[in-house]
Chain A
Amino acid sequence: MEKFNISLVVFTWLTQASVGLILLRAVYMRGSTASDDKIYITGRYMLLTTFILLVTGLLFSFAHLNYPRHAYNAVNNISNSWMSREILAEIVLLFIVLAWYIITGFRIRKIPQVIPEILAGVSVIALIYLMIRTYMLPSLTELNHPSFTLSFIITPLLAGAAIIYFFLRKSEPGLAVKYKMFFGILFLFSLINHIIFRSFHNDLELYNIYNAFYLASLITSVPSLYATLKNKNVISDVIFLNLAIICDFLNRVYALTYTNPAL
């Protein structure tokens, strides 16, 4: 748009969060040492969360439309438009996740989890690929940098790790710490990636909102890191994770300011 719309960032970010969650759920399902029942229930919650994230994301994408009444037309152009394909992939993923959630509700143990995991896994990787292609228009030279593409990989993993951490914090603290550590590493990647992206645009100005949030996150990461080393999960973790999530979100906000008209 002439001015970029925050609804679009929310949609993108939430969708990528759901992608990360699906991928890391598969890791969790195998790596957890809790009881089978526990794992199963947590896994279902994760599917539900994924579905809610996708639906919420879609609703925000409606909010960013100026004439949502014709929104169903958005899949008309899958033969040419990457965005059309992306929307289709998202809807397909939505139904896969919904079906998966419903079917797991019937507890049919004979169906190995691997099948829906692969199906969903392929869908989300396709979705990420289509999202990247949607943003990487030849006319958007400002976004044509590996750091931007990299953010499409960092965000899902970062968001997925954070969500799983929140799930496991109280119930499986030991495992939660691992996801928190993974999150911390990704946060550093996100920070470095953001700096690289900003330097690509010659915009290393010191006093701005992105820097403020990153600084706040770094400050709160210290007690969180300490707690991690002591194998604990404390309230400062929550604060740190939330701030860091906001940073990654703002990262995307910043990037989207470069989708303003090309001139």
Chain B
Amino acid sequence: MKRYGFHIDTVNCSGCKTCQVACQDKNDLEPGLIWRKVIDIEGGKWHDDGGVFSEYPFAYHISMACNHCSDPLCVQSCPTQAMHVTDIGTVDIDQDKCIGCGYCTWACPYDAPRLNHRSGRMSKCDLCYDKIINNENPSCVDACPMRALDFGDIDVLREKYGDTRTIFPLASPELTEPNIIIRPHKDSLKASGRNSLIANREEL
């Protein structure tokens, strides 16, 4: 089955969250509910050489919604089968079946499903299903002022951008086979659990 995915260019992402708010507007999300998030990673350290700084930290951003994985753990785990793969290969939540148990949030390595407090059911990025069946891009992709997001058939994206599917601190792609191609920021290559962390947890 053809699968769609995102290209996430962390080299050019400035962390501005226009993508996040574009999604909120398009889907009328209540305040506090976001389907796309931007993760700020900070790493490295300052080295003070007598009032002069000879070593500086590094940072980068990862904009991520749902990765519409090819082997989605959330679909496997959902007790009601509300989480399912759609006819076009995206992963979506059937609101008539969802009981809001939140088990999918345990299963998802990428923090995609979120509780919609208004409806009591889980919700997440649907890859703008209504747009992509009309051959339009998802709203987030067309919103990015740095043009750091792309969308399409995952095989086409792989040809265009390579096949890196993870970056610190994301999970190993073997876990769920996420349909994302990442362009890693130069500093992400030196990031690790020992020297880096997520700096904006309260915003995620």
Contact = CB atoms under 8 A, between A and B. Distances in A.
A221 B101 CA distance: 38
23 contacts: A66-B115, A66-B120, A66-B121, A69-B99, A70-B97, A70-B99, A73-B81, A73-B82, A76-B79, A76-B80, A80-B75, A81-B76, A81-B103, A83-B101, A134-B103, A137-B73, A138-B73, A139-B109, A139-B171, A140-B106, A262-B110, A262-B111, A263-B111
Contact of B119 (A2, A67, A83): A67
B102 interface: yes
Given A70-B98, A81-B76, A261-B204, 12 more contacts: A66-B117, A68-B99, A68-B100, A69-B99, A70-B99, A73-B79, A73-B82, A74-B80, A80-B75, A139-B106, A261-B111, A263-B169
Contacts, number: 104
A125 interface: no
A81 B82 CA distance: 12
Q: Which 9 A-B pairs have the closest CB atoms?
A: A66-B100, A73-B80, A261-B111, A67-B120, A66-B120, A1-B102, A84-B79, A67-B100, A139-B109
Given A140-B106, A262-B109, A71 B99 contact: yes
A262 B79 CA distance: 20
B108 interface: yes
Contact of A77 (B79, B107, B169, B176): B79
Nearest to A256: B106
Interface of B: 39, 73, 75-82, 96-103, 105-111, 114-115, 117, 119-121, 169-171, 175-176, 198, 204
A263 B105 contact: no
B43 to A, nearest CB: 15
A73 B97 contact: yes
Interface residues of A, number: 31
Contacts of A84: 79-80
Nearest to B39: A263
Contacts of A216: none
A74 B99 contact: yes
Residue among A64, A81, A82 with the most chain B CB within 10 A? A81
A136 to B, nearest CB: 10
A87 interface: yes
Nearest to A140: B106
A207 B96 CA distance: 45
Classify the interface of chain A: helix, strand, loop or mixed: loop
Contacts of B117: 66
Given A70-B96, A263-B169, A263-B198, A65 B101 contact: yes
A75 interface: yes
B98 A67 contact: yes
B62 to A, nearest CB: 9
A123 interface: no
A49 interface: no
A137 B107 contact: yes
A259 B114 CA distance: 14
Nearest to A73: B80
A109 B126 CA distance: 60
Contacts of A80: 75-77
Nearest to A263: B111
B108 A261 contact: yes
Given A139-B175, A261-B105, A261-B111, A73 B99 contact: yes
A81 B77 contact: yes
B103 A83 contact: yes
Contact of A66 (B76, B102, B176): B102
A76 B100 contact: no
A139 B107 contact: yes
A75 B82 CA distance: 11
Contacts of A138: 73, 175
Contacts of A64: 101-102
